[in-house]
Chain A
Amino acid sequence: MSASHVSLAFRRVSRTFPGGVVALNDVSFSVPAGGLTAVIGPSGCGKTTLLRIAAGLDRATSGRVELIPKSILKDGAVHFAGDRKTSVCFQDPRLLPWRSVIDNVALPLELAGIARADRMARASQVIAAAGLSDAKYRMPSQLSGGMRMRVALARALVTRPEVLLLDEPCSAVDEFTRMQLDEEIRRVWQASGATTLLITHSVSEAVWLADQIVVMGGASIDEIYQVQLPQGSRDRTSAGFLFEVETVMKLLARAAGVVAT
């Protein structure tokens, strides 16, 4: 897999919903080609809105999103074609209720016209990585909440995308499953060189995965923090790691308007 050459830049993006809710106010930052940027911030601060605009599913009221070199600009919205290989994992699983786990995971491959045997093989692989091999042929209604989210994550990773947008993919699972999934995300990210935007509520997840952490507070950016640890050799128990987590936690506390205890 060659590294992605697409970088994702938000330029003064604002979004006001009908009714007057300002979800984003003048947000600017960029995810370098092949980089992994995490977005953290309190609930309701506009993270999902940001991701939806990046995915072309919503439009900025002003400002624009650029995909460089291949940018398509139109009223501030980016429209991805299928071949652009963008994957999104939404905050809710969004599985097709009439398809089994493996058929849900294989859906993007199916839509890309990949042969059945191939797509089953690749889907099985990510399903195994998500710890769902036993549930491969179950229907969504037969899964636990965390399992459903893992299926959704597997579906996002199965295409080895160029641009990967993840909205709290691990929030419904326990800390150990989360670590496994983090490893899978990193594996896919590194193998494909995808330009990745990860929304998360876990600071340690952000520090472990990201090059850069965007801390949001109420509709705008509070701080952009560059993680000081080298990729690939991060150790959750090391002092350096804990220090970074502490630092980001403070930034988040400030953004959330809470005095950290």
Chain B
Amino acid sequence: DRSSPPESGQPASPTKKLTSVTLQLNWVPEPEFGGMFAAVHDGIYADEGLEVEIRKGGAQVPCAQLVASGQVQFAVVSGEEVLTLRARGGAIVAVFATFQQNPTGFLLHASNPIDSLEALWTSASTIGIDPGLPFVQILNQKYGGKSLKLVPYSGALATFMASPEYVQQCFITAEPVECQLRGLATKVLPISDVFNPYGAVIATNETTIRDNRPMVEAFVRATREGWRRYLKSPEVYNPTIARMNPSMTIEAMNLAAKLEAPLIIPQSEGSLDGESSIGRMTLERWRITGEQLVQTGVMTAVGTVEDAFLKVDSAPH
């Protein structure tokens, strides 16, 4: 049993039988999953009748396939993965979009004179990037990128630190923080201007929604509340995360939490007090992402974007 039992907050009423569900992360525990850990920590899931097991992930873990084929009830994936897998016949459905703004960007040394996506894409830089990311096509279509050298992103920061000219993809709240803590001055070019799908999307599959929609809704509500609490005071929850990922310091986590908040909190939302709409999704945004994916040739048709996500109201049932 690998779930972290609630350590504070209101324990579940003993008469209520908890439903066990699994949430598969697509990376090791970090602040980008802070809300889920807060929900476990404070017993919010338990209040909703859920016992949630959070599973660590890694670069190669096939999260989208896992959730689509029903191996897990929930998994964290990227927005574009939801649409591409659906285009291939996977019955995956997004239920919660952690990042309203695409948290992906390019990481450069501060000394690098390049200061825009256009400048980057027309330069002769070497860029470490996961092969097959759709925004590469979009940038190519926009700026050409003929003289670039695209090399695989090895997941190792060492390559970047060793070479001042080198550029790599980054998660805005992860690699820049590591560099900052090591005293390495960097800058980030976010790609949300050209490609802005939802990030760190929690997805489930059609079968789970059909069979147990209340459970899915309960999960989303609890996650949303978890995020509200986490963003308010991340330092309360970061030690829990650090216990599952001892190689990241609490200091780094606190910093990352600060950086990610603006990408998570919807722009309409002034404060985190009271009711929140964290995680919400709109058809419009999904459609734009779908169209961009068609444009890049990853998919042939946008399809029924309506079915790709499930809107869950914040109001309690």
Question: Are chains A and B touching in the complex at the 8 Å CB cutoff?
Answer: no
Interface residues of B (CB under 8 A from A): none
